[in-house]
A and B are shown apart, each in its own frame.
Chain A
Amino acid sequence: GAVVSQHPSWVICKSGTSVKIECRSLDFQATTMFWYRQFPKQSLMLMATSNEGSKATYEQGVEKDKFLINHASLTLSTLTVTSAHPEDSSFYICSARIPSGSNSPLHFGNGTRLTVT
């Protein structure tokens, strides 16, 4: 069964609005989670590392003020796309490892399809 849950699975919003995406670890604690973005016909690109209780670490070229990440608990990280524009339309996927920090495979959520009109 799923070990990482994302919500919503898809969302359509108007340009200029903000959208929040949730990533939850199920039955385990994740001090670190990772957010990826996938454009059509392309592979996944890491956006940021979400750290519980501290600031997220963003990859080069990712605007931290546009993609707000909050990791307020050991089982939940949220990604908020602020003032969304059509070019933000993409597939956003989060991941975590069981148990956090160990040498085990990364598990991914089912992703969130964001369409900005």
Chain B
Amino acid sequence: KQEVTQIPAALSVPEGENLVLNCSFTDSAIYNLQWFRQDPGKGLTSLLLIQSSQREQTSGRLNASLDKSSGRSTLYIAASQPGDSATYLCAVPHGSGNTGKLIFGQGTTLQVKP
């Protein structure tokens, strides 16, 4: 059974700092991995999608890496800003295909202090 874990559960950093969020999964036979952002009381915003054949994806100050063999993904945020404060979730599809049914980690709640 696939399990997704995110560490740390919460993180507080001063503005401008670079930071790394971690995501691990128990079954390496994933089709892709997706990172989301969730603001309090809101839905999810898709940040990055990494296919199983890819090692990393970049969007602006965000860089997500994927190491299937070790069951890990990281989300790197450069030059953090107060507006980055939110909960970040990683998710993988249920099973080995792209089913659209996602298994989520518990999330990392990030606070960036001005």
Looking at the complex, which one of B36, B101, B105, B107 makes contact with A46 (CB distance below 8 Å)?
B101
User: Could you say which of B14-22, B38-46, B61-69, B72-80 contacts chain A?
Assistant: B38-46
Residues of B within 8 A of A46 (CB): 94, 101-103
- A43 near B107: Cβ-Cβ < 8 Å: yes
Q: How many residue pairs bridge A and B at CB < 8 Å?
A: 55
Question: CA–CA, A42 to B98, complex, Å?
Answer: 24
Determine whether A113 belongs to the interface, using a CB cutoff of 8 Å to chain B: yes
The answer to whether B101 touches A107 (Cβ under 8 A) is no
Q: How many residues of B contact A (CB 8 A)?
A: 23
How many of chain A's residues touch chain B, expressed as a range? 20 to 34
Which residue of chain B is the closest to A49 with respect to CB atoms?
Answer: B101
Measured in the bound complex, the distance between the Cα atoms of B101 and A79 in whole Å is: 17
Binding site for B on A (CB under 8 A): 4, 6, 32, 34, 42-46, 49, 91, 93, 95, 97, 103-111, 113
Q: Please list 13 pairs of residues, one from A and one from B, whose beta carbons are closer than 8 Å in the complex, sorted by A's number.
A: A43-B106, A43-B107, A44-B91, A93-B43, A95-B100, A97-B100, A103-B98, A105-B46, A108-B36, A108-B45, A110-B42, A111-B43, A113-B41
